[in-house]
Amino acid sequence: MVGSIETMGHTLYSNGAIQKFNGLEKKLDELRSLLGKADSDPLRIVGVGAGAWGSVFAALLQDNYGQYREKVQIRIWRRPGRAVDKATAEHLFEVINSREDVLRRLIRRCAYLKYVEARLGDRTLFADEILKDGFCLNMIDTPLCPLKVVTNLQEAVWDADIVINGLPSTETHEVFEEISHYWKERITVPIIISLAKGIEAALDPVPHIITPTRMINRATGVPMENILYVGGPNIASEIYNKEHANARICGAEKWRKPLAKFLRQPHFIVWDNSDLVTHEVMGGLKNVYAIGAGMVAALTNESATSKSVYFAHCTSEMIFITHLLAEDPEKLAGPLLADTYVTLLKGRNAWYGQMLAKGELSLDMGDSISGKGMIQGVSAVEAFYKLLSQSSLNVLHPEEKKPVAPVELCPILKTLYKILISREQSSSQAILKALRDENLNDPRERIEIAQTHAFFKPSLLGQPRIDLRSICYTNT
């Protein structure tokens, strides 16, 4: 008879054999059980949107759980027809040939020849085509695992148990409104995990903010307890390369705790948090201020002193804005502060600010940049400025003792709007002038004012729209 002892995640048998304890399958089985999945029915996870973070998120799940094909099915949807330009195809070919593991994989899959032809200009590759081989158009330098790609949205989502929203916030409502048509006959309620970072501003019936989770709720009628947000200090390529990272999944307790456990990996620690508002709003705000951080870095030749001054002022504005939106927001500390730091330090929005300041990009090129994707901070600048400039939200200026729009207490946000949107300022140098204003208050004062709760504006979050589909979902 062979006995066994469990130790350090392995099972040690008396005959000397060691069998690794399968914690992954156990986590998968626990989530399947919570969702009421029958043994013969795979858990269906679908990523919607294939930008860098959306693709990496799907690839992490595929790497972790893809081996259990009878228990889970992982797919990703992206629009068809996006051609890969010749310069990108040439770069992709160099990446492939620099990685022996990738080269061998493509040869085994009989997929290498098409990259040779694309390199020679004899063939056009498409973004959905290369994604199947593990290449994200916005992150060519980081090969992923091969992914199951679906280009028909209805086919991708109609029976999904978990949907990962990897779309820019500017596209979230439109795509999920289309998805809602495919869910009309659903009996069960899907779980939606949103990765989107950005907001929209609405002025009717009162000025209010619309976050991606709320967009999804309004578009589909899926109740908010089934919609969660994942954010954290992360650069997509570094996470996939197993740099140690952490994130938080925010939302109702019913799903955030089991999902945090399901998503957690040794190099990607996922905690859970109930403060959806602060984390999701901060997710949009950090992209706003990352553009300015990139400008300051470029204009001052990476001066640590100048960047730290900018950091002090921009974080105080972020704290002030979150206190307008939530009565008791989570403090900008720990992972929230780290998320802000890494985004200001490195990421597509900071890169965009640097390139603008250096003159290597122009505003006329738009906010969707080849090889980077959507620069989400640009639309967020416009949305936050538009929202916080409304006179109906006036607050008492602490020194002038007169009512002013909240944006008047956010000089960096005002300056970014003048550079990026209204173009009243023709040069990125304006961001430095804002920092060097002799009349600029100590950022500590703005934080203290915000924390008095005197500026809390409950109307800024708006009211959830009553939707018959939401009532039906709740009843089922």
**74 phi/psi in degrees, rounded to 5:** -115, 125
Q: Locate the DSSP E strands across 177-318.
A: 191-194, 200-202, 208-210, 227-231, 245-250, 268-273
CA 267/CA 56 separation, integer angstroms: 14
Pairing of strands 72-77, 43-48: parallel
| Angle value at C-alpha 191, between 190 and 195, nearest 5 degrees | 135
Peptide bond just before 266 cis, omega within 30 deg = no
H-run or E-run covering 396 = strand 395-396
Take residue 97 and report the two structure tokens written for it: 């040939």
Alpha-carbon Rg of the chain, whole angstroms? 24
Take residue 85 and report the two structure tokens written for it: 């330009």
- Give Cα separations from 2 to 17, 21, 211, 398 (angstroms): 10, 17, 57, 76
With tokens 């709740």, the residue in question is 474
Least Cα distance to 407 among 466, 320, 475 occurs for 320
The one-letter code for the residue type at 174 is E
Q: Locate the DSSP E strands across 267-397.
A: 268-273, 368-369, 373-374, 395-396
CA 241/CA 371 separation, integer angstroms: 19
CA 332/CA 314 separation, integer angstroms: 12
CA 332/CA 464 separation, integer angstroms: 26
Could you list the active site residues?
A: 286
Spatial neighbors of 124 by CB under 8 A, at least 6 apart, are: 83, 84, 118
Pairing of strands 368-369, 373-374: antiparallel
β-pair partners for 41: none
